[in-house]
Structure 1
Amino acid sequence: MSFMNSQDKSCAPHKHIRKCAGIPRSFLVEVNDPDRKGVMMDSSGKYVIPVMDADAYAIGKKEKPPFSPQNEPSSPSSSSSDPVPAALLCLICKDLLTDAVMIPCCRSSYCDECIRTCLLESDGHLCPTCRQSDVSPDSLTANTV
């Protein structure tokens, strides 16, 4: 009577390979490596993986830096599919209004920082739209519309 040695390689447990069932053959790709990720065995005993998985495994996962912005903001002029209404753009910086305020003389809307800087740097506190002078930065009102 002979007992098997526990170190015998022929007794090593084999990897359990799933049988593919219900997947059309046209959706499968034959592979030679039974240790390949996602491998299954078809009804004829061949190793296969789904075509979609083969493409995905070939490309690999693309890592993103953990704190990168998801989508870079595009400028309003370059977005042709959904243009930003002009009423939401600052007349000075041409970007979306940030902390929108209205100037009392012509009721134009600007970013708060843009119009305050413009009024303080201009000679005589000139409105950049209607050119009225002596417009105080304190007279700006929040644009809630």
Structure 2
Amino acid sequence: MSQIISQIYYKFKSAKDYDTLTFDGLGISVFDAKKEILTAKKLKGNDFDIIVSHAESGEDYQEDTATIPRNTPIVVKRVPTKPGKGTAHRYLEGGGPTTQRNYAASNRGNVASSNGSMSKTFDPSKQPQQVSRLTPTPSTQQTDEHQTEDDKIQAMFAQSKEFWEITQEQMASKPALRRPNQVRPSVKPPVQKTLPPNYVCYRCGQKGHWIQACPTNGDRSFDHMKVRKTTGIPRSFLQKVEQVPPGKGVLVTQDGNLVIAQANEAAWQKFHARQKSYVTSNEVLEDTLPIPADLQCMLCSRLLKEAVITPCCRASFCDESRLSFTNKLLSLFF
């Protein structure tokens, strides 16, 4: 049977680039992968242990007899040793895992390169032509000369079918993985507790249902309304409403009533009248008090406001009085 040259990509957790580990067959055991990685990186493993995990899902390979499929990216982490498990040096002693899985041993063969020659730095930009994940490429170095081309193709398909059956058995016992941006299915758990009379749904601002059973759950077009409490707002500023007015923020009281904040018109009118009377009193006071001669306008005899100095006689006038006087002069001559 023909052999298939495959590879996996690995890197340490602190590394930036991936390295490649080449082997025969459609997968490699975790034990053999750890052994080849330690050999390639020239690590003795006397004072630490290593674990490998899937680079995309983050799931650790707990058993050394587990199989890593080809073209799988993995992350290697050095961890402190645990009691009863020993150090990573056990992978270099020439032994094997405690229990061997009968996983296509004849397909994988012996993983070679004791001096690390099978491992090299992987750079995707420098390898435009990679082995396809769906179409395995038979090795031309270890093909049987007595086999015909049809026999080689049939052997390759048999290998792929066997590998897929084993992968399905392993995937059946794995938990389902979900992408970070994938929307979770909307499942409404049954509500068993009695709904309090003052309970308000903090999603839609309405009464009569739990927030888990809100009819707007799963509706992406719903404009989520932020319901806040009336902490620190006097009751005289709150107005009770049955329906939420558009464009206004809704508040909820301790009793569960919906209210909106409104301005105190009486206090505002009182403040406005006080300010108006203050301005009027200032004007009256200004008219009664004597004005110094150097601060008095020569045209209106009042206090200078926005004073201007004429370039001819260097006299000071109010800007408003100067404009009115200029307009009168222009009307006389023109």
Mark yes or no: TM-score above 0.5.
Answer: no
TM-score, normalized by length of structure 2? Answer: 0.19
Instruction: Choose 1 or 2 for highest CA Rg.
Output: 2
Looking at secondary structure, tell me which structure has more helix per residue: 2
